[in-house]
């Protein structure tokens, strides 16, 4: 099953390091990040889970819940979490799914035969409060995820969802944004009282709407 942007994120029940969950119920009205790891006790993933835990407050202020997936059993998860807490100087308190039967991996197409016949590739999904998939990323085993970029994308997605704007290349929180083509220039003057800078009829900038 190949998931595309705009598809409904498949629901599932799972055993996790914080207890049994139903995915959609767990997310509630929050945004969600679901990301996979090939197995427990892998070095790059150890740093990633640690970094995710360190960014707990950043995710919380964006109303984002995070879940990790590994195909190892729950008892191994607990041992790995202890190692992560020790080596990354943090506390992992978000759910790590024990996907022994690869149910979640198959739902989200996390096993790519060209990479491995059994282990999940390192996929990441951002899911909106409407349970639709907003972004997918797949990393090779040798490259750790850039969580600054993950947070940047969430900021961009949330702005786009609320204000009819898009974000330009290399945009960072607080910088000017692009007015969506669905908004006429006339309407933009009213909709964006901070000002409209017209570079071309199709390229119009305004200060980030939710930035004081």
Q: Are 180 and 165 in contact (CB under 8 A)?
A: yes
Q: Does domain 13-144 have CATH number 1.20.140.10?
A: no
Choice among 14, 34, 45, 68 that is catalytic? 45
Q: Are 162 and 58 in contact (CB under 8 A)?
A: no
Phi-psi map region of 33: left, alpha, beta (phi>0 left; psi -120 to 50 alpha): beta
* Bridge partners, residue 34, by sequence: 67, 125
Q: What is the pTM (predicted TM-score) of this model?
A: 0.91
Residue 155: pLDDT band (50, 70, 90) is: very high
Question: What is 164-206's CATH number?
Answer: 3.30.1020.10
Active site annotation includes 114: no
Nearby residues of 30 by Cβ (< 8 Å), 6 or more positions away: 63, 64, 65, 129
Instruction: Compute the distance between CA of residue 99 and CA of residue 121 in angstroms, rounded to an integer.
Output: 13
User: What number of CA atoms fall less than 13 Å from residue 155's CA on the CB side?
Assistant: 22
State how far the alpha carbon of 131 is from the alpha carbons of 68, 124, 143, in Å: 17, 15, 28
End-to-end Cα separation, the chain, in angstroms: 43
Domains of the chain, by residue range, sit at 13-144, 164-206
pLDDT digits (tens, 9 = 90+) for 49-81: 999 999 999 999 999 999 999 988 899 999 999
Instruction: Compute the distance between CA of residue 60 and CA of residue 113 in angstroms, rounded to an integer.
Output: 35
Average pLDDT over residues 184-200: 95
pLDDT digits (tens, 9 = 90+) for 19-52: 999 999 999 999 999 998 878 888 999 999 999 9
- How many residues does this entry show for the chain? 212
The order of strands in the sheet holding 197-200 is 165-166, 177-179, 203-206, 197-200
Say yes or no to pLDDT of 156 above 60.
yes
pLDDT digits (tens, 9 = 90+) for 97-136: 999 888 998 899 887 555 554 455 678 999 999 999 999 9
């Amino acid at each position: 099953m190949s998931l595309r942007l705009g598809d409904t994120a498949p629901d599932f029940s799972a055993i996790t390091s914080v207890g049994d969950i139903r995915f959609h119920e767990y997310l509630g009205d929050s945004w969600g990040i679901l990301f996979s790891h090939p197995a427990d006790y892998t070095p790059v993933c150890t740093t990633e889970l640690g970094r995710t835990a360190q960014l707990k407050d950043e995710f919380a202020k964006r109303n984002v819940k995070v879940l990790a997936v590994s195909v190892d059993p729950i008892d191994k998860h607990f041992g790995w979490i202890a190692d992560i807490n020790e080596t990354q100087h943090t506390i992992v308190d978000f759910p790590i799914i024990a996907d022994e039967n690869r149910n979640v991996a198959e739902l989200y197409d996390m096993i790519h035969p060209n990479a491995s016949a059994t282990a999940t590739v390192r996929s990441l999904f951002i899911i909106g409060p409407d349970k639709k998939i907003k972004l997918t990323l797949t990393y090779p085993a040798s490259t750790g995820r850039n969580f600054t970029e993950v947070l940047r994308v969430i900021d961009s997605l949330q702005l786009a969802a609320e204000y009819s704007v898009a974000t330009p290349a290399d945009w960072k929180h607080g910088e000017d944004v692009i007015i969506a083509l669905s908004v006429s220039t006339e309407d933009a003057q009213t909709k964006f009282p901070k000002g409209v800078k017209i570079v071309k009829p199709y390229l119009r900038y305004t200060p980030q709407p939710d930035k004081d």
